[in-house]
Chains A and B, each alone.
Chain A
Amino acid sequence: VQLLGILNASEQLIRSLWKDFPLLIQELHLTQHSLPCVFFLEAMVGHQLSQEQQSFFLDTTRRFMLCADSVQIQLAPDRFVGVCRKYKDIHVSLGTPRHVIVPLQSAVARLQPSANTLTPLHADLLQVCLVSKFYGIALSVVQQGLALEDPKRTGLTAKDFLLYCYYGGMVFLGEQMFADALDFFLNALTVPAVVLSSIMIESYKKYVLVCLLLHGKLDSIPKYTSQVVQRTIANQCMVYMEFAKAFSSHDMGKLNEVIAKYESVYDKDHNLGLVRQCCDSLRKFIVQRVTRTYLTISLEQLADVLKLDKKKTEKLLVRMIVSSSLSGKIDNSKGILIL
């Protein structure tokens, strides 16, 4: 702790000497002297690095993350986080996110004061896994059920938490676990807030789509969300609200219209895949509604309502019957569905 004090005091000095670090660090042992290493590496973070310096930085950081001393780095968590972030950013921009995963995992383990605590680095870990498509690792992280102990010791900020929820939701989406995804997006939305964050807006857009997919209607955000969010979030996502309205009218024609109109917007938000999944789910909801009102219905009528051709309608019905979301029989000779 004394060392921390000295290092904090001489921060200016350290920053000015950043170019000499490659030599200095030869002197230091990465584990035993983790704390000074953190400071030195952090000093390098703020600067535009040349090719050689960059490769040195990457190499050192990697070794550092794999063997840093937990006790020491927990004394200066935000600096450590800053270093790891820079490392991750460089790799992502270089297009090699996979290399980050293992060091980050070890860094996370070292930063946690106790097992299963949420740290700022979890968000980064998730992001990296998503970008490199290693859903398995990400899934195990989010399913761990992380607790929110002691954010001061880990330097957790609101932004980290929001990012964690958002990326976690996306991981669940990738694994088609929609209910869990919905929970995560909702957690992102209910963070206490004084102003609206764009992460929240993105979470809300995904929340709308997943809600429609899962429940067939848009559930309102819970009452304990902050006022600011409740009042303004719908205005920010008008396109999605229109989509929700078209969906709830249970009219395939209208839905297709809205999709065609705003396709570019959905695409830009990387939500187009979700939107198409919503389309399919609306078809399923319509069919289920039909079972409540009809005993038999001709396949043509059904195809008309679903705006599909006869063959596709039949395929959809067969799929639904096989997966037991629909109980009925198709009589092909008369061309009807008997429920």
Chain B
Amino acid sequence: ITMSEATPMDTATESSPVPAEDAGRRMATYPHTTTVDVEVIVGQYTGHALVSRLIFVAKKAAEKQDESLELDALKIAVDEARKAEQTALYTEVTQRINGRCGQDYVCDAAWIERVDRRTAQKQDKLESELNGYKANLIKESIRMGHTFLGEFFYEKGDLHAALKCYIRTRDYCTTSKHIITMCLNVIKVSLELENYMHVLNYVQKGEQTPDIQQDPAIMDKLKCAAGLANLANGKYKIAARKFLEVSADLDNAYSDVIAPHDVATYGAFCALASFDRSELKQKVIDSVSFRNLLELVPEVREVVYDFYASKYASCLRMLEGLKKYLEYDLYLHKHIEELCSQIREKAIVQYTIPFTSVVLQNMALAFNSDVDSLEQEIASLIAKGQIHARVDSYAKILNKRHANHNTSNVVQTGKEYERHAKAILLRAKLLQANIKVSPM
């Protein structure tokens, strides 16, 4: 696998995003796993997704005290904010930069005032137009009016107002196309607001719209959104299923929310952490469409194949490497620890399945860890009931053993029932006699 080296950060080149046709070339190569490449981010996202990811990268970089990365991300964010005339965002980002990048990137108050005046004018105009439409009672124009207003608020960065406007268009939607537009708009804004209940609701609404099953592009978008929402809620299995249903034709169609290589990464990780072996084979390895997506992220693909082939040492090593990169990812950073530990547990359990006894020494070699910590991990997995074996701590061997089953369960349950029934009868008597604890 050839990996492109991180290109040196050069402020002069980052004044405009890479045009769409270059983005296709960029997607074929994956950045070096230990550094975050701001250029690549710029190439894959547009609009709000780009800005939010840049700011997140900057925040994380500030935590890790990687100043050059932070400043690069922030500079591009400022340029984007200027272009989109988002004054609130512009102020925030320039504050973060705090004068470290020279005069060009200091907060320009005059520019802010000009833009604010212009946006206020535009807002008035749109609102008066909308009132006009409402007076005319033409459904279509009211709907368009609300949508324009919603888009305006979204551009400005006022997400709550945008959401309200989009939701208002619901009453005026007549064709399924209208409904779909509304659903997609609401989903986009809700994802940014991290209101995942809304996202899931509207995805469902969108999927139930008639005629929509025929349009694969829109179905893909809805599936991506559903996957993101489930991932954020920690429901990895459902998220994996959703991501895996996305076809490889997604390309840049949804670039203001998510990029295809994200779909591949999230899908692969969630699948590894939650699917069992047969489902993994069926949905990930044998699936043609997902394979095409996985080509975009060859390292993740290697992880999946190694896991399936039981090459745990290399699989886990690459996982560690990927972890550092993925901490900068907007959606995955919260879940990466959990996912990695789940994958590791699954690997351990899978390793022990074919054996009746395992020498812990060999197993430790396979998992790049020492015998004692591995023993602890195995003990906790046994206690959780995922491995049916017992550890011979003296000889350091894991032995398959069948646990003794308790046949006294029946007697136990019977006694419990008797106690329970007596207690309820007593309470009934108390109620009958009107004995109550009440304020004296």
Is A132 engaged at the interface, CB distance under 8 Å to the other chain? no
Given A148-B430, A195-B438: A295 and B382 within 8 A (CB)? no
B-side contacts of A292, CB under 8 Å = 382-383, 390, 403
Contact status B391-A192, CB under 8 Å: no
Contact status A293-B419, CB under 8 Å: no
Which of B403, B433, B439 gathers most chain A CB within 10 Å?
B433
Is B235 engaged at the interface, CB distance under 8 Å to the other chain? no
A-side contacts of B379, CB under 8 Å = 293-294
Is B435 engaged at the interface, CB distance under 8 Å to the other chain? yes
Nearest opposing residue in chain A for B385, CB measure: A292
Contact status A195-B393, CB under 8 Å: no
Given A158-B438, A162-B437: A294 and B423 within 8 A (CB)? no
A-side contacts of B433, CB under 8 Å = 148, 150-152, 156
9-residue interface stretch from A134-142, A183-191, A232-240, A307-315: A183-191
In Å, the complex CA distance between A152 and B399 comes to 66
> What 1/0 mask marks residues of chain A from 144 to 178 whose CB sits below 8 Å from any chain B CB?
00001011100011110110000000000000000
Closest chain A CB from B439 CB (angstroms):
5
Contact status A224-B391, CB under 8 Å: no
Is A248 engaged at the interface, CB distance under 8 Å to the other chain? no
In Å, the complex CA distance between A161 and B424 comes to 15
Interface residues on B, range: 20 to 34
In Å, the complex CA distance between A336 and B396 comes to 13
Is B394 engaged at the interface, CB distance under 8 Å to the other chain? yes
Q: Give residues 383-428 of B contacting A (CB, 8 Å).
A: 383, 390-395, 399, 401, 403, 419-420, 422-424, 426-427
Total chain A interface residues with beta-carbon distance under 8 A: 36
Which residue of the partner chain, among B394, B419, B429, contacts A296 with CB atoms under 8 Å?
B394
Contact status B435-A334, CB under 8 Å: no
Contact status B435-A191, CB under 8 Å: yes
Q: Give residues 267-291 of A contacting B (CB, 8 Å).
A: 289
A-side contacts of B437, CB under 8 Å = 158-159, 162, 191-197, 200
Which residue of the partner chain, among B390, B403, B424, B430, contacts A191 with CB atoms under 8 Å?
B430
Given A158-B437, A193-B436, A294-B379: A334 and B419 within 8 A (CB)? no
A-side contacts of B403, CB under 8 Å = 292
Is B431 engaged at the interface, CB distance under 8 Å to the other chain? yes
A-side contacts of B382, CB under 8 Å = 292-293
Contact status A298-B393, CB under 8 Å: yes
Is A297 engaged at the interface, CB distance under 8 Å to the other chain? yes
Is A8 engaged at the interface, CB distance under 8 Å to the other chain? no
> What 1/0 mask marks residues of chain A from 290 to 329 whose CB sits below 8 Å from any chain B CB?
0011111110010000000000000000000000000000
Which residue of the partner chain, among B419, B426, B438, contacts A148 with CB atoms under 8 Å?
B426
Is A5 engaged at the interface, CB distance under 8 Å to the other chain? no
In Å, the complex CA distance between A191 and B426 comes to 9
Contact status B436-A295, CB under 8 Å: no
A-side contacts of B438, CB under 8 Å = 158, 193-195
Contact status A157-B435, CB under 8 Å: yes
Nearest opposing residue in chain A for B399, CB measure: A295
Given A148-B430, A183-B423, A187-B423: A293 and B435 within 8 A (CB)? no
Contact status B439-A195, CB under 8 Å: yes
In Å, the complex CA distance between A269 and B421 comes to 31
Given A148-B433, A194-B436, A294-B379: A187 and B393 within 8 A (CB)? no
Nearest opposing residue in chain A for B419, CB measure: A183
Closest chain B CB from A330 CB (angstroms):
12
Extra A-B contacts (8), CB below 8 Å, given A156-B435, A161-B430: A148-B429, A191-B435, A191-B437, A192-B430, A224-B427, A294-B393, A297-B393, A297-B394
B residues whose Cβ falls under 8 Å from a Cβ of A: 379, 382-383, 390-395, 399, 401, 403, 419-420, 422-424, 426-427, 429-431, 433, 435-439
Chain A to chain B contacts (Cβ below 8 Å), 15 pairs: A156-B433, A156-B435, A158-B438, A187-B426, A191-B430, A191-B436, A192-B431, A194-B437, A195-B437, A222-B423, A224-B424, A293-B382, A294-B391, A294-B393, A295-B401
Task: Across the A-B interface, give the 9 residue pairs with the lowest CB-CB distance, nearest first.
Answer: A193-B437, A295-B392, A293-B382, A296-B394, A151-B433, A148-B429, A297-B393, A295-B390, A194-B438
